[in-house]
Structure 1
Amino acid sequence: MKKKTVFQRYEFKYLLTRGQQARLLSAAGARLRPDEYSHSSIRNLYLDTPDFRLIRRSLEKPVYKEKLRLRSYGRADREHPVFMELKKKYRSIVYKRRLTLPYGRALDCLTGDCPWPETQIGREIGYAMDFYPDLEPRVFLSYERDSWYAPESGLRITFDDAIRFRTADLTLDSDLWGTALLRPDQVLMELKAPGATPLWMVRLLTEMGLYKTSFSKYGTAYQILLEQEYKGGKRYA
């Protein structure tokens, strides 16, 4: 199956307890089916400038913002396929452009030892890399994801837990470790819809008293780093 490279959708986030997650899935019943990749272990390297220009701007909640990251599903050696992603958000709509290439080649592209592929997406990523000075991996962020979808509406629902980050050992081929972003009983739910959220889901969220949050994994990690620096400590590993 050909992997999707361009995404355009609305994304909404909710912080749930594990009990709420179980109740929501039970209430949704047959409307939801396990996604093609129902469970995955996701690893990300977020790229930024030395002064964290991209995430600082993102946290200011501008009308337009963007992030660059290198992502793998599971541990990646140099031949393992990874995804270089340029994620943009404009007026609540998320646009994601994705390149697939071997991890070793992606690293060479990041250091400038190899050109980005001569494709539309490759040129867009290359332009972003040139636009921001000294762009390189700054934060490793990983989590476990369970995915569901509603066939009749195109709604996709993901639940992320075991979210952790570090600023050392910035590779996709090392063990999972780092500082936790959520409590052990919490999960982050994301609704990803091509249009309006289905009415049955809106009603279910209302009945359960679940409300949208602006939680950002990378943003939360950056805020923890700032708090640690403010207290005069060392940066989180």
Structure 2
Amino acid sequence: MEPIRKFNRFELKYLLTMEQTREFKQQLEAYMFPDQYAWNSGDYVISSLYYDSPDLQCYWEKIDGLKFRKKLRVRIYETEESITEDSIVFVEIKQRYDKTIQKRRIAIPYRDAMALCDEHRLPDEYDERDRPVMEEVLGMIEERNLQPTLITSYFRHAYTGTEFDNGLRVTFDSNIRYRVNDLDLASKQLGRYIVSPDRVILEIKVNERVPYWLTELIAQNNYRLIRISKYCTGLDVASEFPQRIEVY
């Protein structure tokens, strides 16, 4: 599958109970398709290695609410097979400009991602179309002195929009954990919970606008928007000072 190298979108987040999650999934099935890349259970596991500066510049940009901010991560969509140097991962620059999320990413083997992000060099072989993103990654690492900081992992249950709602994705993230030690994506070490294990983060992702039927469902269920970053909240929990989740 040809990787998408860049895209813009909007994201809305909500914090649900397990019962709310079960009910909302049933409601969505009338409007959306299950993610075709999910496991037989309907879920899959995402693990992400985040980079930050020694003074946590990316963290503080989020906490301070800067309208323009960006961060670097290496993400893998896990399978039942063990992660190896040949496993394909995504190196992503996730950038926010006001309310718009912008992503630039490349799909490369894990060994090449580590050569790029940890050894600060281009891989020996790569798709020339990936070079602009690789050079941006290297520039960001040099400018901010980025280093591996935290890994998050969680189960995701996702739905995609029909042809009438192109670009729409709704995801449910559960069993959300972090670790600040053993920062190797291939490790199976379980970290601590970022949010309570009986809570699920619902995310609505759209290219332009939320469909009317979905805004009606959100209103009927009385869900309230929250502002939460898995990366920032993981660092807060690691420091024993849980970040306050902002509810709208």
TM exceeding 0.5:
yes
Matches within 5 A, 1:10-159: 10-38=10-38, 39-74=43-78, 75-112=82-119, 114-115=121-122, 119-133=131-145, 135-151=146-162, 152-154=164-166, 155-159=168-172
Contact 1:147 1:156 in 2 (8 A): yes
Contact 2:50 2:74 in 1 (8 A): yes
**Aligned equivalents of 1:198 and 1:147: distance in 2?**
17
Alignment-derived partner of residue 235 in structure 1: none
SS of residue matched to 1:30:
coil
TM superposition score normalised by structure 2: 0.87
**Percent sequence identity over aligned pairs:** 30
Q: Which amino acid aligns with 1:174?
A: S
Question: What is the CA distance between 1:125 and its match in structure 2?
Answer: 1.6
Q: Which amino acid aligns with 2:107?
A: T
Question: What is the CA distance between 1:111 and its match in structure 2?
Answer: 2.7
Q: Select which of 200, 211, 233 maps to 2:224.
A: 211
**Aligned equivalents of 1:42 and 1:28: distance in 2?**
22
- Structure 1 unaligned regions, length at least 5: 230-237
SS of residue matched to 1:3:
coil
SS of residue matched to 1:190:
strand
Aligned length: 228
Instruction: Check if 1:164 corresponds to 2:177.
Output: yes
Question: How much is the aligned-residue C-alpha RMSD, in angstroms?
Answer: 1.7
Question: What is the CA distance between 1:184 and its match in structure 2?
Answer: 2.3
Contact 1:165 1:180 in 2 (8 A): yes
Question: What is the CA distance between 1:142 and its match in structure 2?
Answer: 0.6
Contact 1:15 1:187 in 2 (8 A): yes
**Aligned equivalents of 2:37 and 2:99: distance in 1?**
26
Alignment-derived partner of residue 232 in structure 1: none
- Structure 2 unaligned regions, length at least 5: 243-248
Q: Output one character per residue of 1:124-177: Cα deviation in whole Å (capped at 9) or x when no partner.
A: 2222112112x1111111111111012121210011111101111000111140
TM superposition score normalised by structure 1: 0.91
**Aligned equivalents of 2:191 and 2:71: distance in 1?**
21
